[in-house]
């Protein structure tokens, strides 16, 4: 009896070591800083959220989460950096609609495989989109914007984040619906778009509301309509797309978290659990609400299924607009 009792811990330890070796996981993870690739400009709503999350989780993981902004090319630069990083848990990346759903439809060749090169960790949130114009533009409603661009289509430049981005997909849809031709002007994120709107460098855009809450409140830019099925509690007087007559656009702007394919499953599970716990905490949930996003944490498996379904839906949506690049 005593011999069995003394050997059981050794057997358990051996099993744990075998399990760790099988999955390639370090039981002490993390033992060094974790790089978080964010494929959008500093100051944009996702950059702000990821920096806040990184600060909170650094204390819990006892290692810093270092934000690495890899901007440009519709998220392709950041996605490629993530896909080619070592799958050891020390590189994770924010991904979004363009990364896995839109880019495969608008680019003939990508330096990564959207379906195979990432290990899904979790969806993070949905972003409330807003159609916005500078305060200097004599437009107060969607209908007034439509009248302007249908009579003078080239007089209104539309800010996007490049081919494949939510703003550009929306612009493509809007030009088709209104039978007009607003030109796209690409920027590296919602923050630069906000600056361009304020300086009247562009005359319209559709970006995440969180990028310009202060500017809308301050009267520097004007919100014409918001995405979603209900009005934003931040701006209850601003109509939804449907209420403003923009029916038929069902595109969602979401952001999630992934790692390079092959990252050990225990690490994926640990990161999923840490983000899930953080997003449920009242103080952080309140912070997210102020950024005009809706938390959408899922399991890695559910997120993988979501990515597949979103990729298929998006392909059907924009196949008719696809242009080789």
96-141 tens-digit pLDDT: 988 999 899 888 899 999 999 999 999 999 988 999 999 999 999 9
In order of 2, 42, 55, the CA distances from 141 in angstroms are 82, 30, 40
Q: Which of 226, 245, 278 is the last residue of a domain?
A: 226
Q: Which of 209, 226, 243 is the last residue of a domain?
A: 226
In a domain? residue 1:
no
In a domain? residue 48:
yes
Closest to 221 in 3D by CA, of 233, 207, 242, 231: 207
In a domain? residue 238:
no
Give the count of domains, the chain. Answer: 2
Do 300 and 153 lie in one domain? The reply is no
Q: How confident is the model at residue 6 (pLDDT cuts 50, 70, 90)?
A: very low
The rounded distance, in Å, linking the Cα atoms of 200 and 133 is 9
264-323 tens-digit pLDDT: 999 999 999 999 999 999 999 999 999 989 899 999 999 999 999 989 888 877 775 444
Do 118 and 138 lie in one domain? The reply is no
Average pLDDT in the 12-39 region?
67
Do 36 and 121 lie in one domain? The reply is yes
Residue 160 has pLDDT above 90, yes or no: yes
Identify the CATH number of the domain in which residue 204 sits.
3.40.190.10
Do 47 and 123 lie in one domain? The reply is yes
In a domain? residue 60:
yes
The rounded distance, in Å, linking the Cα atoms of 209 and 161 is 15
In a domain? residue 243:
no
Do 87 and 167 lie in one domain? The reply is no
Do 195 and 262 lie in one domain? The reply is no
Residue-number span of the structural domain to which 314 is assigned: 29-127+253-321
Do 140 and 199 lie in one domain? The reply is yes
First to last CA, the chain: 72
Q: Which of 187, 210, 226 is the last residue of a domain?
A: 226
pTM for this entry: 0.78
Phi, psi of 150 (to 5 degrees): -80, -20
Q: How confident is the model at residue 5 (pLDDT cuts 50, 70, 90)?
A: very low
Tell me what the pLDDT averaged over the chain comes to: 88
> Across the chain, where does the E strand assignment appear?
34-38, 65-69, 91-96, 118-127, 129-134, 158-160, 184-186, 204-208, 221-226, 253-260, 293-295
Residue 193 has pLDDT above 60, yes or no: yes
In a domain? residue 19:
no
Which residues, listed in sequence order, are joined to residue 93 by a DSSP beta bridge?
Answer: 37, 258
In the sheet that holds 118-127, the strands lie side by side as 65-69, 34-38, 91-96, 253-260, 118-127, 293-295
Identify the CATH number of the domain in which residue 120 sits.
3.40.190.150
Which residues, listed in sequence order, are joined to residue 65 by a DSSP beta bridge?
Answer: 34
């Amino acid at each position: 009896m005593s011999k069995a009792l003394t050997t059981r811990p050794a057997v358990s330890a051996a099993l744990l070591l075998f399990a760790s070796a099988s999955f390639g996981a370090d039981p002490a993870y993390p033992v060094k800083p974790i790089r978080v690739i964010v494929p959008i400009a500093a100051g944009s709503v996702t950059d702000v959220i990821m920096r806040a999350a990184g600060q909170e989780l650094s204390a819990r993981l006892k290692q810093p989460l270092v934000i690495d902004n890899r901007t440009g090319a519709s998220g392709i630069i950041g996605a490629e950096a993530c896909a080619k990083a070592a799958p050891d848990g020390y590189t994770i990346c924010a991904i979004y609609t363009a990364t896995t759903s839109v880019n495969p439809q608008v680019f003939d060749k990508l330096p990564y495989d959207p379906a195979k090169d990432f290990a899904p960790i979790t969806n993070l949130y949905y972003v409330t989109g807003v159609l916005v114009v500078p305060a200097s533009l004599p437009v107060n409603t969607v209908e007034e914007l439509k009248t302007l661009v249908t009579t003078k289509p080239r007089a209104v430049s539309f800010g996007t984040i490049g081919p494949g981005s939510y703003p550009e997909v929306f612009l493509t849809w809007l030009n088709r619906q209104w039978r007009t031709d607003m030109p796209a002007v690409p920027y590296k994120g919602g923050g630069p778009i906000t600056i361009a709107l304020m300086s009247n460098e562009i005359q319209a855009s559709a970006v995440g509301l969180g990028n310009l809450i202060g500017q809308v409140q301050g009267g520097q830019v004007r919100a014409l309509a918001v995405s979603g099925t209900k009005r934003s509690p931040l701006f209850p007087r601003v109509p939804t797309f449907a209420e403003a007559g923009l029916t038929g656009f069902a595109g969602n702007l979401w952001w999630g978290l992934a790692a390079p394919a092959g990252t050990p499953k225990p690490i994926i599970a640990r990161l999923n659990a840490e983000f899930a716990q953080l997003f449920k905490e009242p103080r952080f949930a309140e912070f997210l609400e102020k950024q005009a996003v809706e938390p959408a944490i899922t399991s890695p498996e559910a997120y993988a299924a979501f990515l597949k379904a979103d990729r298929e839906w998006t392909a059907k949506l924009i196949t008719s607009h696809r242009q080789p690049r």
